[in-house]
Amino acid sequence: MKLMTLAWRSLANRKTTSLLTVLSFALGVILLLGVDKVRTEARQSFINTVSGTDLIVGARSGPVNLLLYSVFRIGNATNNISWQSYQELSQSKSVDWAVPISLGDSHKGFRVLGTTTNYFEHIKYGNKQPLRFSEGRAFEGTFDVVLGAEVAHQLGYQLDTPVAIAHGAGKVSFIKHDNLPFQVVGILAPTGTPSDRTLFVKLEGIEAIHVGWNSGSPSASSLKLTHKDFENKTLEPETITATFIGLKSRMAAFHFQRMVNQYREEPLLAIMPALTLQELWQLIGVAEKSLLVVSALVVFSTILGMMITMLSSLQERRREIAILRAVGARPYHIFFLLGLETLVITLAGALLGWLTLYGLLALVAPYLMDMFGFHMALGAPSLKELYILVAIVGASLLMSLIPGWRAYKNSLSDGLMVRV
């Protein structure tokens, strides 16, 4: 107890150096825990890009390829699936709901997705969070379009803005469906998912702008079509790109997946998005692991700096240590005194770093959720965080053995001797 009091008074006597060391240590803790927290939540957010969907069905290709074009709108499908196959799958006894999607067109570099109004009801993200409208409503008419948050922001579009869709998925297209413009009726709230960079239209709208097209090229008559030509006209697609499926029971997921993969009418592939997302994360997760290593090196350099500071201060504290020895302190008392000083600094730095980190996260969490759909879970420190803090404190104590041993070896006569 006396050693703890002595350690505290010794640090208070060198308060400027002690405070700077605590702040430096706290910054290292903030960086390491912050990177690990963001890394963990980013992985969870990535895995929850699509939530509540049991299966995604598309033409037979690779699981990652199907996930990329259906969820992330990256790349293109190797083939489409027939409308008849979609209807047969959606009417299965195991299926609770099915949402078809059709890709292939774009607008100024943003992908256009044809679907039904069920998309806004069943397709969720994050912790099963539904898509919300910041303005307007879901599409109803054939030529209504709903914009993702980033599309509306970057292009400056508002409700009732006319939108001409281009053929193909490239940023530059020489063929546009400008004779049949769509009208913005809704804008989605930010989600931090590919939905923010997508334009949503009805499947009937996708069919309407391609009436009269052959092999990817329009006929002369198709370019003269107007909105009036589609009034009171029902259009049914012949093919779709993929479909999202929700099952009545998740226990039936593997059975239904096997049934789809063995579908005889046409070659199909069913994937479980959560499992495929984890597989994809393993491919792209190298960067976040590298960032964690860099953060650990920063913490190590902070601990090393603290040890160097203590070693440097030993020269200034030689007379202080000699006086302690002269009044009866034994060498191991000096050893434990330096260890206690290190413990106080590391505990104070770790506590300050953890509190500051969670304070900052509490401030930015609503902003991250509203702007990017990035859910940052806050609460009591996890076991992993506690292990990290214990490891940091333990490493600091180990490093303090070097200056402690140096002080232990200093003799009384060395401390009283004045060197020229």
> What single DSSP character describes residue 417?
P
Q: How far apart are the first and last CA of the chain?
A: 38
Residues 27 and 104 in one domain: no
CB neighbours of 171 closer than 8 A, spacing ≥ 6?
106, 108, 109
Per-residue confidence (pLDDT) for residue 128, from 0 to 100: 84
Domain termination residue (choose one: 222, 240, 271): 271
Tally of structural domains, the chain: 2
Reported as a single tens digit per residue, the pLDDT across 171-222 is 655 577 788 999 999 999 988 888 999 999 999 999 999 887 776 667 777 7
Residues 89 and 233 in one domain: yes
165: buried, middle or exposed (CB in 10 Å: 19+, 13-18, 0-12)?
A: buried
Q: What tokens appear for 141 in the block? A: 């008419």
CA 133 – CA 152 distance, rounded (Å)? 12
Residues 306 and 387 in one domain: yes
Task: Please provide the average confidence, as pLDDT, over all residues in the chain.
Answer: 82
Within a domain: 276? no
Give the pLDDT band of residue 167 (cuts 50, 70, 90): confident
What's the average model confidence in pLDDT over 83-101? 94
Residues 18 and 104 in one domain: no
Domain termination residue (choose one: 210, 237, 271): 271
Within a domain: 197? yes
Within a domain: 279? no
Within a domain: 315? yes
Find the range with the poorest average confidence among 56-60, 308-312, 397-401.
Answer: 308-312
Nearest in space to 116 (alpha carbons), one of 206, 223, 17, 250:
206
Residues 104 and 252 in one domain: yes
E strand or H helix at 114: strand 110-115
What's the average model confidence in pLDDT over 222-232? 81
Q: What is the pTM of this model?
A: 0.70
Strands (E), 181-283: 182-188, 198-202, 239-240, 242-247, 268-271
Residue 70 lies in domain: 55-271
Per-residue confidence (pLDDT) for residue 412, from 0 to 100: 47
Residues 17 and 83 in one domain: no
Reported as a single tens digit per residue, the pLDDT across 254-301 is 999 999 999 988 999 999 998 888 888 777 666 667 777 777 777 777
Q: Is the confidence at residue 415, as pLDDT, over 50?
A: no
| Angle (CA) 75 80 82, round 5° | 160
Per-residue confidence (pLDDT) for residue 226, from 0 to 100: 84
